[in-house]
Amino acid sequence: MSIATFASRLYLAAVFFFVFLPIGASVVFSFNSDRFPTLPLASFTFEWYAKAFSDDKIWDAFRNSVAVSLTAAAMSTFIGFSTAYTDFRYGFRFKAAYLALALLPPTIPLVIMGLAMLAWLSQIGLSGTLFGIIAAHTVLGSPFAMAVCRLRLHQMDPSLEAAAWNLGASEWATMRHVVLPFSAPALISAFCLTAAVSFDEFAVAWFVSGLNRTVPVAILEILQGNVDPQINAIGTVVFITSMTLVVIAQTIFMRRNRNG
């Protein structure tokens, strides 16, 4: 191994170390019986998990988060796929503007997005409702879903749809029997990815959630009160949930792409 290769691997290892150290620390302290995060560690305990999950407010927050992320993921995937398919299939004037608009949301700072959502949703009476958070997270998730679906559609032989029509399939039958099966790995990936985005998202949820807190908002409220190791326990659960979704998304997408 040359020095350059060694140095670049060391650098990569250092990057991962610094990224995962705080999360790793949080996981470790979630099982530590000491109230304050200090070394050396005291004894192993499930106390903080037991405490966190005996709290009705935390259960409510989890239920809200699951409902919001599943619904927002389904809607994001639908909108993202539709946008990507429109781009794949049709040429029209202002297509560049259409694509720019579809990919715009991630470029807006979350605080601005949160404020704007709050203002708009309260105008139409949805502020503080779960549906408001779902709408906001759908806006955030759709561009990711579109990017994933677009990658997959670009791998599709353009003759594939024409071949289906040629064999007697109408446009709808072609969508159902050819385009959707071909895109299935991307649809699953997009669903997992946008569910993870929604499950983790704090800023916009904090602005629009009101009394219907999601997990990240509930964490902040506990944090504002005092230093409580419950947060480590909840944080670990959130981290594992999100990572699992992202890993599923990646493996499905990568494996299917290799197979063609």
Partner 1 sequence: MDNPLVSFTGVSKRFGQVWAVKSLDLSITRGEFVALMGPSGCGKTTTLRMLAGLEEPTEGTISIGGRVMNGVAAHERDTPMVWQSLALFPFLNVRENVEFGLKMRGVAKEERTSRAKEWLDRLGMSDFGDRGIEQLSGGQKQRVALARSLVTEPEMLLLDEPLSALDAHLVIRMQGVLSSLQRELGITFVYVTHSQSEAFSMADRVVIMGDGEIAQIGPPREIYRRPATRFVAEFVGRNNIFEGEARGNSLHSPLGTLPLPVTAFGPAVMAVAADRVSANRDRPGEGPSVKGRFLSEEFSGTSILCYFEGSDGSTIKAQVDEEALDLLAPSHGEVFWISWSTDAAHLVGS
> How far, in Å, CA of 139 to CA of 104, rounded?
10
- Binding segment for partner 1 (CB under 8 A), chosen from 98-106, 167-175, 205-213, 240-248, is 167-175
Q: Is 168 in the site for partner 1 (CB under 8 A)?
A: yes
Residue 32, phi then psi, degrees to nearest 5: -95, 130
CB closer to partner 1 out of 182 and 202:
182
> Tokens 């983790």 label which residue?
200
- Binding segment for partner 1 (CB under 8 A), chosen from 25-33, 119-127, 175-183, 239-247, is 175-183
Q: Is 170 in the site for partner 1 (CB under 8 A)?
A: yes
Please select the residue that binds partner 1; options are 7, 41, 42, 167, rule is CB under 8 A: 167
What are the tokens at 162? 């024409």
How many residues lie near partner 1 (CB under 8 A)?
21
How many CB atoms neighbour CB 37 within 10 A?
Answer: 15
Q: Is 173 in the site for partner 1 (CB under 8 A)?
A: yes
Q: Is 165 in the site for partner 1 (CB under 8 A)?
A: yes
Q: Are 104 and 36 in contact (CB under 8 A)?
A: no
Q: Can you spell out the DSSP letters for 53-91?
A: TT-HHHHHHHHHHHHHHHHHHHHHHHHHHHHHHHHHH--
Q: Can you spell out the DSSP letters for 93-130?
A: TTHHHHHHHHT-GGGS-HHHHHHHHHHHHHHTT-TTSH
Please select the residue that binds partner 1; options are 42, 108, 160, 240, rule is CB under 8 A: 160
> How far, in Å, CA of 165 to CA of 182, rounded?
16
Q: Is 91 in the site for partner 1 (CB under 8 A)?
A: no
CB closer to partner 1 out of 166 and 226:
166
- Binding segment for partner 1 (CB under 8 A), chosen from 96-104, 145-153, 180-188, 196-204, is 180-188
Q: Is 181 in the site for partner 1 (CB under 8 A)?
A: yes
Q: Which residues pair with 44 in a beta bridge?
A: 32
Q: Is 111 in the site for partner 1 (CB under 8 A)?
A: no
What are the tokens at 88? 């794949």
Binding site for partner 1 (CB under 8 A): 157, 159-160, 162-171, 173, 177-178, 181-182, 184, 259-260
